[in-house]
Amino acid sequence: MISMSITSIPKTATVDDAALVGRTLARAFVDDPMMRWFFPDDSSREAALGRYFTTLFTRQYARHGVCERTDAAAAFWVPPQAQSVPDAETVQELQNILGDRAPLFRDAVEAAAGHTPREPHWYLAVIGADPAARGGGHGAALLRSGLARADAAGLPAALESSTSANLPFYEHFGFTVREEFRLPGGGPVLWAMRREPHSPAGVRGR
């Protein structure tokens, strides 16, 4: 059981936090439709997701993005002009983790990139909270922190949600569904969402 003393205050995530970030996101996404598609084996999914998210964090988003965490959640943002698609070395490492599902991952990355806004924006690549701490404001705190950066720059924010149940959460913060599309190869549906910049006072809490 998660202690009530656990903090939901966002802090910068560094490579020293890799184990915590990987473990937290593995728990957050173990039942996610896209991750169940990438990792169909229920018995090994959480362990594989830990390696998957640790690799994404240390090799991609810690280098090219803005990564924050609380004690029970993590978020990876990509600012304008940064590299949002994994580089070749990262893709190779992820393919090793995915095994025979690697082609599905490659096609999914390419498909999602085709639905990303072309104008400068802040992109929310990953956000997730340990299910044991949901309802504690961890995801909301990280989302507010990232959106404050986008608002300060006067830029929109974008994301893709792979779970329809999460759409109201994002809509609460001003996102709207821009497009609905299915990943190739019989993959799950994703919802591309966008949020126009607000004044700093316009970022609502939850």
The whole-number pLDDT of residue 115 equals 85
Query: Residue 47 belongs to a domain with what CATH number?
Result: 3.40.630.30
Residue 22: exposure state from Cβ atoms within 10 A (0-12, 13-18, ≥19): buried
8 found inside a domain: no
**112-124 pLDDT tens trace:** 888 888 899 999 9
pLDDT value at 199 more than 90:
no
The whole-number pLDDT of residue 2 equals 43
pLDDT value at 87 more than 70:
yes
1 found inside a domain: no
| Least confident window among 13-17, 45-49, 104-108, 188-192 | 104-108
The whole-number pLDDT of residue 85 equals 72
Q: Which residues of 98-128 are buried (b: 16+ CB within 10 A; e: fewer)?
A: beebbebbeebbebbeeeeeeeebbbbbbbb
Determine how many CB atoms are found less than 10 A away from the CB of residue 202.
11
The whole-number pLDDT of residue 154 equals 96
pLDDT value at 33 more than 80:
yes
Task: Residue 194: give the domain boundaries.
Answer: 13-202
The whole-number pLDDT of residue 86 equals 77
4 found inside a domain: no
32 found inside a domain: yes
The whole-number pLDDT of residue 3 equals 43
Retrieve residue 85's tokens: 């698609």
6 found inside a domain: no
**39-85 pLDDT tens trace:** 999 999 999 999 999 999 999 999 999 999 999 999 999 999 886 67
89 found inside a domain: yes
Average pLDDT over residues 188-192: 96
**158-181 pLDDT tens trace:** 999 999 999 999 999 999 999 999
Q: What's this model's pTM, rounded to 2 decimal places?
A: 0.90
Please state the domain count of the chain: 1
49 found inside a domain: yes
72 found inside a domain: yes
